[in-house]
Structure 1
Amino acid sequence: MGAADKVAIDAPFGWPEPFIRAISSEPGRWPLDPDEIRAPLERRTTDFLVRDRTGKTPLSVTTDRIAYCAMRCASLLGALDSPRDGSGRAAEAYPDAALRCWLPTLFTGSLQSYKTKNNAAARGRRRILLAGLLGELGNDFNITDAQQAAVADSDDCLDAFVCALLARAAAAHRTVLPSTPEHQALAMIEGWIHLPEPESLRQLIDRRVPSNQSEIQ
């Protein structure tokens, strides 16, 4: 991560607080009856808020493979001594949801996912999203032809590019933060997905956030 003051990491920063309590309970006892709703154990408060704001539901950190990423991320956060709410050096990112905040008009109806690999339609979708981002960033934003080609060719590169932009947004205080004491407390335990303010892209360049304040991760 070099000397970057702020990084955005595409991985969950924590686990649902009810899940933590459940697995910490008396051995052999599970706090739910078989027919009870399991949603609070499967997803965090921030996951539900992201779904409500963007229509995109994050993967479950307790029941999906993304749990492996979360475990690696926990070690990284420990090494950085960064709190889970994103107030330190690292902020939690969800690139797909961030794109929906910045480019809402490009996420209407049933459109091809940009995540599909080795697919011409997905590459075309990534080009459209990249063009939308660059249009908002304006002419002062520098990106090489090779970098644009990499973003169009790979969903991982597009996600990394969005993470870099989101790190700048977080450094410039242009992301949505927990708005209640309850959410603030939960964010320190569960993590908090930093969604960008909808009109923040061009302002990131206008504000001249120093180049060492964001880094792709």
Structure 2
Amino acid sequence: MRYFPEVAVHLRDYAGLMLTAGVDLAAENKGTALAVVDWSGPTATLTDLRLGVGDDAIAEAATTVDKLGIDCALGWPDEFVSFVVAHADHESIDALSVDGGMDWRRTLAYRETDRDVRAKTGRWPLSVSTDRLGLTAMRCAGLLARIQARGVAVDRSGSGVVVEIYPGASLRLWGFDTTGYRVSAAARELLLTRVLDAAPWLDLQGHAELMVRSGDAFDAVIAALASRSAALGHYEPPPAQHLARARREGWTALPTNPLAALISAPVE
């Protein structure tokens, strides 16, 4: 397994203390969930799961955990930002090489990490430029500023405490069928049963009912698990040629190891 020194500094003592948090972020507090998982014992314990969470609570959590995964794009495509700035300044569209075609529009719609997610999962994530995700990303930008104001450095490429997480893709890469789980409590109940069968070491501390009732709560817990994967280095960081872009646009940490490795595999 690859070793990332910048990740290791947040592990404190792998054999002992470690906390990860997951945030299912929405445009408003309603629909936003926060989960915290304690990995210090032989089991992973869900110590906190809340709905209706505000920015201050999330920013405060960032100061107490080793890794905080946010289910939201942490930035916008470079090409989109340049286009909007140029358009606002009335620059010539010829100078921008604007052809209006679909291929050109996709460069504005998707980040480099979105193309990476597409290559690894076969699915496009929502576009932060053209889908309703943009409203949530605006909130996320303010949230990142609040986190930094509390003394936590934010690197949108994922090196540090904050990391971008995609719960649905994480579940699929761990081998689970995610059909309908975001809209159906019955599908979430079945999926949760399968997750717990694969991860008997996960102690939900009585929060299973909330996870079944709320897709937001469900995804917050999955984000906390995927944050553990990122903290252990079980993901592919942006390649060197895309690192600067990832620090502007964000980078999704997709798990590369099985779910069982979250509890059993030490950092090498």
**Shorter-chain-normalised TM-score: which range?**
0.7 to 0.9
**Residues 15 and 190, structure 1, Cα contact 8 Å, conserved in 2:** yes
Corresponding position: 1:128 with 2:195: no
Q: Given the superposition, is the C-alpha separation of residues 36 and 174 from structure 1 closer, same or farther in structure 2, using an over 3 Å criterion?
A: closer
Which residue of 2 is the match for residue 15 of structure 1?
A: 76
Structure with more helix by fraction: 1
Corresponding position: 1:33 with 2:99: yes
Which residue of 1 is the match for residue 64 of structure 2?
A: 3
Equivalent pairs counted in the alignment come to 195
Percent identical: 36
Q: Given the superposition, is the C-alpha separation of residues 208 and 181 from structure 1 closer, same or farther in structure 2, using an over 3 Å criterion?
A: closer
Which residue of 1 is the match for residue 261 of structure 2?
A: 203
**Residues 175 and 196, structure 1, Cα contact 8 Å, conserved in 2:** yes
**Residues 234 and 257, structure 2, Cα contact 8 Å, conserved in 1:** no
Which residue of 1 is the match for residue 244 of structure 2?
A: 185
Q: TM-score, normalised by structure 1?
A: 0.82
The one-letter amino acid of 1:39's match is R
Unaligned runs of 5+ in 1: 117-121, 210-217
Query: How far apart are residue 74 of structure 1 and its match?
Result: 1.4
Query: How far apart are residue 128 of structure 1 and its match?
Result: 2.2
Which residue of 2 is the match for residue 75 of structure 1?
A: 142
Which residue of 2 is the match for residue 88 of structure 1?
A: 160
1:169 equivalent among 220, 223, 229: 229
Alpha-carbon distance between aligned partners in 1 of 2:214 and 2:77, rounded to the nearest angstrom? 31
**Structure 1 residue ranges, 4+ long, deviating more than 4 angstroms after superposition:** none
List per-residue Cα deviations over 1:55-74 (Å, max 9, x = no partner).
23211111112112111111
Unaligned runs of 5+ in 2: 1-60, 148-152
Alpha-carbon distance between aligned partners in 2 of 1:182 and 1:63, rounded to the nearest angstrom? 26
Residue aligned with 1:25, SS? helix
Residue aligned with 2:233, SS? coil
Query: How far apart are residue 208 of structure 1 and its match?
Result: 7.6
1:142 equivalent among 200, 203, 208: 203
Residue aligned with 1:24, SS? helix
Query: How far apart are residue 76 of structure 1 and its match?
Result: 2.0
RMSD between aligned residues: 2.0
Structure having greater relative contact order (Cα 8 Å, sep ≥ 6): 1
The one-letter amino acid of 2:155's match is P
**Residues 169 and 254, structure 2, Cα contact 8 Å, conserved in 1:** yes
Alpha-carbon distance between aligned partners in 2 of 1:78 and 1:182, rounded to the nearest angstrom? 26
